[in-house]
Structure 1
């Protein structure tokens, strides 16, 4: 008997993006999108990731929640689901978490470790737990700048 292959050993379903990532359901993933190792992409509630995105290592994207079912002792019998939509050319930093029902606009940046529980406007930089706008992405041809905004509301959020 031959030794088990790597894919047989780790038990993750095969996917065309990264053999160390766990991708469930049937997500729509745009061309040129890169997915890092140890990412969890839950497509069970509907997931669309646009073209040219970077989904860094350890990112988790959830389209379901069993919280109500769990805390009710299963009296609430449903696993809630809501789709996640991620625009084109979005950067998701290492270990960021995107919760169900969230939409992230084109060319947005989610900082490492952020927990995104609300929609993110295009070209907005968010960070923290929960994620909050901290800056804007400015693109002028090949020049890309991140302009940090103050808590006082400078810039757009």
Structure 2
């Protein structure tokens, strides 16, 4: 499910797996206010080049995902993700980074838990 109503950029060479939801709007504040809040909030999503988004991940409005990042399956992305960063979880958090020093053999390097 891809919503581009608030603005959406998907870079070159991305893989977006089945069941991914990308949102560029939210009607939550409008709903809970009994429509007193008059608008549907919108904020663009920008997905860089060669980004992998795993199955059933959710990308919330206003998020930027940098080039060559990996979003793990089932993750919920609520904040910007730097280029070549690996995130996973709910909410998505950094779990590693991408090493492309040898592009013919890319490596995913994990980080120790904080």
Give TM class, smaller chain.
over 0.9
Which structure has the bigger radius of gyration?
A: 1
Post-superposition, which runs of at least 4 consecutive aligned residues in structure 1 deviate over 6 A? none
* Number of aligned residues: 113
Aligned match for 2:104, one of 119, 142, 153: 142
Unaligned runs of 5+ in 1: 1-39, 153-157
Distance in 2 between residues matched to 1:74 and 1:42, nearest whole Å: 22
Q: How does 1:3-152 map to 2 (within 5 A)?
A: 40-139=1-100, 140-152=102-114
TM-score normalised by L of structure 1: 0.71
- With structure 2 as the length reference, what TM-score do the two structures score? 0.97
Structural RMSD (CA): 0.6
Structure 2 unpaired stretches of 5+: none
Q: Distance in 1 between matches of 2:62 and 2:112?
A: 27
2: CA distance between counterparts of 1:111 and 1:124? 11
Higher relative contact order by CA 8 Å / sep ≥ 6: 1 or 2? 2
